[in-house]
Chains A and B, each alone.
Chain A
Amino acid sequence: MSAVLTLSDVSMRRGARRVLAGVSLSVGAGEALVITGENGSGKSTLLAIAAGVLTGCSGRVSLSGTCGYAPSTPDVPEHLTPSEWLALVASLRGTRTSIDDEIMRMELTDVHHRKVSTLSAGQRQRVSLAAALLGAPTLLVLDEPEGALDQAAVARLATRLTGTTCLVATHDLSLASRIGARTMHLATS
């Protein structure tokens, strides 16, 4: 199985505090890896490094193909509508996928024309996930995707993630078993 993402001896410091210490991992094509760990163990930092969002770490990060990233707190601009945000993501990713299909899959049909500021936390999370999933990127990096979602939405997401190449940070171990992922525990540095 060819590796889509490889992290070798990745360390990260924030001031005097060591956030990550020599983490190595590899995610192959079609494989799902779930990262677990206590609060403050560096899961979000690790995922941001893997997605290329956070720079300035030591070690080697290698990613082949495109990446869809959804942070734990949805960072969707409040003055846009979900349709407009997905159109912007599609443009930056250069994908020809139908935005409408993604809106329907994430059950955002009723709210796609409303400004994000008027959406609930769960709906915002769905918009963020739709942006990450848009155009079927080579690697999905999802930080606590179940955060504000209801049980039915988590079940649908698990079905959607099965068979995809993804790196997921979560506290919900049942999600890991549902998507058939191997798990990796990150200890506090």
Chain B
Amino acid sequence: MRAVLVVSGRPFARALVAPTMAWLVPAAILFGGNGMTADDAVSVFRTSPVSWAVVVLAFSALTANALSAAVHAQGMTTLRSLRPSRWAMLGPLGVLITLGQAPLFVLFARAGLVVAGVLHVMLALCLELLLVRLRAAGRSTAAWRSARAQGQPGAPLPPLLAICVYCMRTLWRREQASVSLSGTAMALGAGALWLSFHNDPPRSAIGRAMCVLPISLCVAAALLVRPLVREEVALRSLLRSTRTRAWVPALAMIAVVCVPNAAYASAATYGASSEASAAETAATLAFGFLVALAVVAWARRHGRTRKQDPALFVAGTIGIAIASITMGIVW
């Protein structure tokens, strides 16, 4: 049982970070800032079956990914080949997936409905298992469709687009922890900007955004670009043997990292201040893009050094953040 927990625990925890952040941020706003209580939430579920169904289904869908990661964790095949007892395999997995549903139980328990909480967790677990099965079936159907589509010779994707797709697949499949942490940094930055605007409304929205957002922008961009630089090194033999120009992977990296950062900077400013003008939102878009671009350029430069010191990369990223904040203060 300990071996199953060790093997599947880490992938499960990694996959759980993103969905946890997805409900933690709105939950903190609803239950912290707006004074909502567990009783209020449960009474909403009682009056509106649709909202109840949406929450239970959404919760099952959010943690289904973590369950899938635990079941298919590297090393599980070896463990299964050792023919452990059924309980030794299912027990730890059951504990893990019940942990994933714990917040749902806490919500009902705090409203004084412990039995209802247990029943809801069981319902969510059943739905979760169903979703994992459906997803596995869907994957094979998608693979079959893709095979059919690829059977027809057609124009290949342009190299830039093909590498962009590759970068996104890498981030999504191999670097889920980085993506989750990057999303967390963005959420924290947006929260900080909202609080700053709420407590002390500024004269210039862009000036304040330029002071508050750079740290989250730099952290988010650095977390996404590091694995991509490593992947570019791994792809080097293919890129060179196909005579792909050096600017193609560089531009793909910029597209994959800078565009979401720019969108985040402008969305966070627009969301935090209802008085932000279109010009100010556009300016934060450009600012977010430039900060992320500086981090990408630094990561690529650092990736070319012979002795890649992570401390040096972090120091450079902090330097970019400080320079961006200084720009905001001057503005």
Contact = CB atoms under 8 A, between A and B. Distances in A.
Interface of A: 48, 51-53, 55, 66-69, 71, 75, 77, 79-81, 83-84, 87-100, 112-113, 117, 131, 141
B173 interface: yes
B150 A89 contact: no
A121 B144 CA distance: 24
Nearest to A50: B241
Contact of A96 (B151, B154, B231, B242): B154
20 contacts: A51-B241, A52-B240, A53-B236, A55-B240, A69-B237, A69-B238, A77-B170, A88-B163, A88-B238, A89-B238, A91-B156, A91-B159, A91-B161, A96-B156, A98-B150, A98-B152, A99-B150, A100-B147, A100-B150, A113-B146
Given A91-B156, A96-B153, A48 B234 contact: no
A93 B170 contact: no
A91 B151 contact: no
Contacts of A89: 238, 242
Contact of B156 (A80, A83, A95, A100): A95
Contacts of B146: 83, 113
| 4 nearest A-B residue pairs (beta carbon) | A113-B143, A91-B162, A69-B241, A100-B151
A92 B231 contact: no
B242 to A, nearest CB: 4
A166 to B, nearest CB: 14
A92 B159 contact: yes
Contact of A94 (B147, B151, B153, B156): B156
Given A51-B240, A98-B150, A75 B159 contact: no
B240 A79 contact: no
B259 interface: no
Given A75-B234, A84-B169, A98 B153 contact: yes
Q: Chain B contact residues (Cβ within 8 angstroms of A): what range?
A: 35 or more
Nearest to A81: B143
A42 to B, nearest CB: 17
A117 B77 CA distance: 13
Interface of B: 74, 140, 143-144, 146-147, 150-159, 161-163, 165-166, 169-170, 173-174, 231, 234-244
Given A80-B169, A87-B157, A71 B237 contact: yes
B307 to A, nearest CB: 15
B147 A48 contact: no
B157 A52 contact: no
B170 A87 contact: no
Contacts of B159: 91-92, 94
Contact of B241 (A67, A90, A112): A67
A90 to B, nearest CB: 5
A48 B240 CA distance: 10
A98 B151 CA distance: 6
A129 B170 CA distance: 22
A89 B237 CA distance: 11
